Amino acid sequence: MTGDTKFDLWYLFALAGAVLIGAVLPVLPTGAAVSAGAVLASHGSPIGLVGVLIAGAAGAYVGDLIVYAGCRFGGERLAKRVGWLRDNASLDNLRERLADHEITVLLTSRLIPGGRVPVLLAAGLAGYKWERFAIVDLTASSLWAAVYMAIGLLGYALFDEPWEGVVAAIALVALTTVVSSLVRRARRKRSETE
């Protein structure tokens, strides 16, 4: 962020767009983009951190709404096609889990790499109310953006040069993703053996 308003706004729109695309097509490292934006904003214009938070949260929120709509209206066919949902007992089980811990599940699914899409599919299949989803996901998207912005601020605090902070933030995001995947895999193995 250079202090040039047009560049700052352009960057924030690009960040929101990248996060939105990454939320719909979960192959882009959207958390790393928010972390890198926080590093750059901290070096150039600390007030830009508010913009990074808003842009990251807005992109994630709109992307989640798009994915939820797709899961709500086409998720059952997709789930049956890939064999994830074979009968109504599975759907009833999903409804039960979401009903028991709905807010916790929706909030944490945004923070756990790879956890968001299965939860959105389950919520869509279970007929989770749009209004409720929109409210809870607004909180989840904001929390997600704040967490990844904090990772970027850690990168900023550790290194003097912006590029070093960006690399550190991206490395921290990658490390978080790998550790989360390993923990999830270990839990899955443990539950299969029990």
Q: Would the pLDDT of 87 be above 60?
A: no
Q: Would the pLDDT of 59 be above 90?
A: yes
Strands (E), 61-110: none
Instruction: Say what the pLDDT of residue 78 is.
Output: 66
Average pLDDT over residues 92-113: 75
Structural contact between residues 37 and 11, judged by C-beta atoms closer than 8 angstroms: yes
Q: Would the pLDDT of 95 be above 70?
A: no
Q: What span, in angstroms and rounded, lies between the C-alpha atoms of 35 and 38?
A: 5
- pLDDT one-digit tens code per residue, 108-143: 878 777 778 777 877 887 778 889 889 999 999 999
First and final CA of the chain: distance in angstroms?
52
**Confidence band of 5 (pLDDT split at 50, 70, 90):** very low
What's the pTM value of the predicted model, to 2 decimals?
0.76
Q: Would the pLDDT of 191 be above 70?
A: no
Q: Would the pLDDT of 149 be above 70?
A: yes
**Confidence band of 3 (pLDDT split at 50, 70, 90):** very low
Instruction: Say what the pLDDT of residue 10 is.
Output: 83
- The total domain count for the chain is 1
| Main-chain dihedrals φ then ψ at residue 127, nearest 5 degrees | 75, 30
- The domain of 125 spans 5-193
**Confidence band of 6 (pLDDT split at 50, 70, 90):** very low
Instruction: Say what the pLDDT of residue 1 is.
Output: 46
- pLDDT one-digit tens code per residue, 162-181: 777 777 777 776 776 677 66
- The single-letter DSSP state of residue 115 is T
- Helices and strands counted in the chain (H then E): 8, 0
Torsion of CA 43, 48, 54, 55, to 10 degrees: -70
Instruction: Say what the pLDDT of residue 40 is.
Output: 82
**Confidence band of 4 (pLDDT split at 50, 70, 90):** very low
